[in-house]
Amino acid sequence: MVVKMEVDGKDPKAVKKDLMWIEKYRPTSMDDVLSHQDTVLTLKKLIDGKRLPHLLFYGPPGTGKTSTILACAREMYGKTLGSMVLELNASDDRGINVVRDQIKTFASTKRIFSSGVKLIILDEADAMTSAAQMALRRVIEKYTQNTRFCMICNYVNKIIPALQSRCTRFRFGPLKREDLIARLGEICKIENVSIEDEAISALVDLSEGDMRKCLNILQSTDMAEAAKNGRITAAAVYANTGNPTPAEIEECLQWLLNDDFNTCSRKLSGLLEKGLALSDIIREIHKFMMLSSLPTKARIFLYKELGEIEFMLSKGVHEKLPLNALVGVFKATAMLAVEEGQGATG
C-alpha cells in the first residue's frame, strides 16, 4: 500500500507543509487505514448496500477510529460532506437539551441536493453524562429513518448498555507491528529522515500499537537529531522519550539481585540522575520478572509490592523513598524465595 495523502493535483508539500505529522499523515481514504482490514471491508459492504447501521467505534488512542469514520463520510458523501455530516464532541456543550435541539435541527432539515442518510458523529461519547446518554436512546430511534449515528470512544464501559445495543460495535485494537514498520518506512522516505532499522523497531516497541504515538516520537526525535545530521539510532529514540533501554533495565536487575542494599541504592540513584524515571524502570522490570522462575509466594509478594510502589509514584511523591523501597522489595523477595525453596526440599 502506498501513502497517498495529497489533495488531487496539488503539490502535497505545498498544501500540507505547515501540518504536524500526525495530521499530515492521517489516512484520507478507507484503504489507507492500517491493520483493520476486516472492519474496513465490512463497512464498505454496508455502505455499498446502503445498509449502514448505527456504529460504535471503541479502542485505545491513535488506532484510527476518528480517521476511519471521516474516511467513511468522505466515501459516502464526497463533495456534499459538509451538509450531510454533523460532528459533536465533548468540547461542545452536550447537555441533553442542546444535543436534542442540534440533532433535531440537523436531522430534520430537508435534503434538497442529495439523497441518502445523514451522519451524526458523536466523538468522545464516553464523556457524555449518563443522563444525556439516556436521552440519546430516544433521539436515535426517532431519527433512525434518515440519520445514522456513529459514536466513538476510548472507554466502552462508559457507554450505557442501552446505547451499545442500538449500535454495531467495532473494536479498534492496537496496530500490527508489521503495518507500523511499513508505514513508518514510507513516511521516513517522504520526510527525508534517515533512520536505522533498529530505531524503527524501538519506535514500534515504545508505541504499544498507537500510530499517533509513533509519529510523535518520530517527529520529536527527528527535530532533536536534525541539528546533528546523523542517522537516527535506537539509542536516540530511547533518549528522546526518556525511556530506559533494555540494556539499562538488565543492568538494574543485576544490581537489585546481586548488590548489597546501600550499593544498589546508590547505583539506582545515579541512574535517576541521568534522567530516567523510576516509574518507567519499574514498568520494565515488571516485564522482565514475568519471565523469571520465582517460586509462587515470592512472586506474589514481588508483584504486590511493585504494584504498590508504582501507585505511590503516581501520587507524585519524591522518588527517594520509593526507590529505596524497591531495593528493599528485592531483598525481601530473595529471602522469601530461598525460604520457600527450603520448605519444598526439606
Ligand X SMILES: Nc1ncnc2c1ncn2[C@@H]1O[C@H](COP(=O)(O)OP(=O)(O)OP(=O)(O)O)[C@@H](O)[C@H]1O
- DSSP, collapsed to helix, strand or coil, labels residue 171 as strand
Which one of Mg ion, other proteins, ligand X, none interacts with residue 142, CB within 5 to 8 A by kind? none
What are the angstrom distances between the C-alpha of 146 and each of 31, 42, 80, 118, 137?
27, 21, 16, 6, 16
- Our finding on whether 151 is near ligand X (CB under 6 A) is no
| Residue that the C-alpha cell 499530515 belongs to | 24
- Our finding on whether 66 is near Mg ion (CB under 5 A) is yes
Contact 274, 307 (CB under 8 A): no
Nearer to other proteins, 41 or 131 (CB): 131
Which one of other proteins, Mg ion, ligand X, none interacts with residue 325, CB within 5 to 8 A by kind? other proteins
- DSSP, collapsed to helix, strand or coil, labels residue 58 as strand
Nearer to ligand X, 62 or 244 (CB): 62
Query: CA–CA separation, 271 vs 256, rounded Å?
Result: 13
CA dihedral 324, 208, 221, 16 (to 10 degrees): -150
Q: Which stretch binds ligand X (CB under 6 A): 46-54, 61-69, 238-246, 331-339?
A: 61-69
Which residue's CB comes closest to ligand X? Answer: 64
Which one of other proteins, Mg ion, ligand X, none interacts with residue 205, CB within 5 to 8 A by kind? none
Which one of ligand X, other proteins, Mg ion, none interacts with residue 92, CB within 5 to 8 A by kind? other proteins
CA dihedral 12, 14, 15, 18 (to 10 degrees): 110
Q: Which of 107, 122, 175, 282 binds ligand X (CB under 6 A)?
A: 175
CA-wise closest residue to 329 among 344, 315, 346, 309: 309
* Minimum gap (Å) between residue 69 Cβ and Mg ion: 9
The three cell numbers of residue 305 are 509490592
Nearer to Mg ion, 172 or 255 (CB): 172
* Minimum gap (Å) between residue 165 Cβ and ligand X: 22
What are the angstrom distances between the C-alpha of 312 and each of 261, 291, 306, 329, 330?
21, 25, 10, 14, 17
Which one of other proteins, ligand X, Mg ion, none interacts with residue 54, CB within 5 to 8 A by kind? none
AA letter at 170: F
Residues 13-52 that bind ligand X (CB under 6 A): 22-23, 25-27, 33-36
How many C-alpha atoms does 138 have within 13 Å on its Cβ side? 9
Which one of other proteins, Mg ion, ligand X, none interacts with residue 172, CB within 5 to 8 A by kind? ligand X
Which one of other proteins, Mg ion, ligand X, none interacts with residue 227, CB within 5 to 8 A by kind? other proteins
Residues 172-231 that bind Mg ion (CB under 5 A): none
Binding site for ligand X (CB under 6 A): 22-23, 25-27, 33-36, 61-67, 154, 172, 175, 211-212, 215
